[in-house]
Amino acid sequence: MEDLARFRRALLAWFRKNARDLPWRRTRDPYAVWLSEILLQQTRVRQGMPYYERFAAAFPTVEALAAAPLDAVLKQWEGLGYYTRARNLHKAARLIVHDRGGVFPVTSAEWRMLPGVGPYTAAAVASIAFGERVAVLDGNVIRVLTRLFDIAACSDAPSVRKRLWGFAEELLSPASPGDFNQAMMELGAVTCLPRGPRCDACPVRAFCAARRMGTQEDRPVRAPKKMVPHYDVVVGVICRRGRYLIGKRPAGGLLGGLWEFPGGKVAPGEDREAALRRELREELGVAVRVGACIATVRHAYSHFRVTLHVYRCVIASGTPRPLGHTALAWVARGDLRRYAFPKANLKFIDSAL
């Protein structure tokens, strides 16, 4: 790009005047910056703000986070989704406290050694908190760059991603790398929008090749989305003497470490009630009588959708054992909120129990 200095000055001046007032921008505390970057992965700022404030209040330092049990961490994360982020955040906090004596990594290379920290997050934290001259590349920055340079090739292709990293590094302000990276992200978040980009309000519109060519609405070019599969899931609500039976999911898989009402997928051609009897036999080692369906809940994950069919059940024989869970608990209705549940479970807990 010609006249890099003018581009940088225009973007930084705009950012310093117009940047949203966000709590993690009021500090260079690496814990606050790191927490915000992890929490905002796959999450918009408006949605993530209350979670950030709640999480930071519960665990104000890396030492507090490291000392907390995982269940408490997952409870604060409840409803935000992508729970692997929370588990890795907790694991990394313990590594920082116990293995590094509470000293944070400084360089992006050091940050990448922590669980859950990839190239983007490492660069963001290292540049914002420590001033390392390293560029970032997230979805917002990709959109800005593909428009600035009018890139017609698919931005998902590895070769194009490599080019985009090169552009990001070329543009980076060596004097203010943290502010510049935030400015690029902010530009994509509030001005260079996916649809209907606000070109007239863009501080660097004079440098934008896509705007000159009239192709800004066509950038970035993305690979076609795959069809999202759908699954029917049956869930059993078993109540005994005013207490409900819930199980804790294994730590390693989807929604690991969260509590749930037992159940599972309906196999092709399988009757729902038969599927529920099978699932509870496999997960709990009990035979049940399936009662009324008390709720139907639709929920979308990143790569699939589910419809939960929730039934009241009574144990006909057997004693529940954690065959499909790491633990079971009988919990009073008023105490369910103490446990961290997947969002789909929360939908019917509030409406049907």
Q: Mean pLDDT, the chain, as a whole number? A: 96
What is the Cα–Cα distance from 150 to 210, expressed in whole angstroms? 5
Q: What CATH code is carried by the domain that includes residue 246?
A: 3.90.79.10
Burial class (CB in 10 A: 0-12, 13-18, 19+), 170: exposed
Question: Do 252 and 199 fall within a single domain?
Answer: no
Structural domain contains residue 325: yes
pLDDT confidence band for 42 (50 / 70 / 90): confident
**Span 76-80, average pLDDT:** 94
What are 276-286's pLDDT values in tens digits? Answer: 999 999 999 99
What is the Cα–Cα distance from 347 to 299, expressed in whole angstroms? 9
What are 308-321's pLDDT values in tens digits? Answer: 999 999 999 999 99
pLDDT at residue 252 greater than cutoff 90: no
Residue of 2, 37, 132, 260 marked catalytic: 37
Judge whether 53 counts as a catalytic residue: no
Going by the DSSP 8-state scheme, the letter that residue 112 receives in this structure is T
Select from 183, 218, 253 the last residue of a domain.
218
Q: What CATH code is carried by the domain that includes residue 205?
A: 1.10.340.30
Question: Do 214 and 245 fall within a single domain?
Answer: no
Number of domains in the chain: 2
Q: Give yes or no for a contact between 8 and 180, defined as CB atoms under 8 angstroms apart.
A: yes
Nearest to 112 by CA among 103, 120, 122: 122
pTM recorded for the entire structure: 0.90
- The boundaries of the domain holding residue 142 are 4-218
**Span 336-351, average pLDDT:** 94
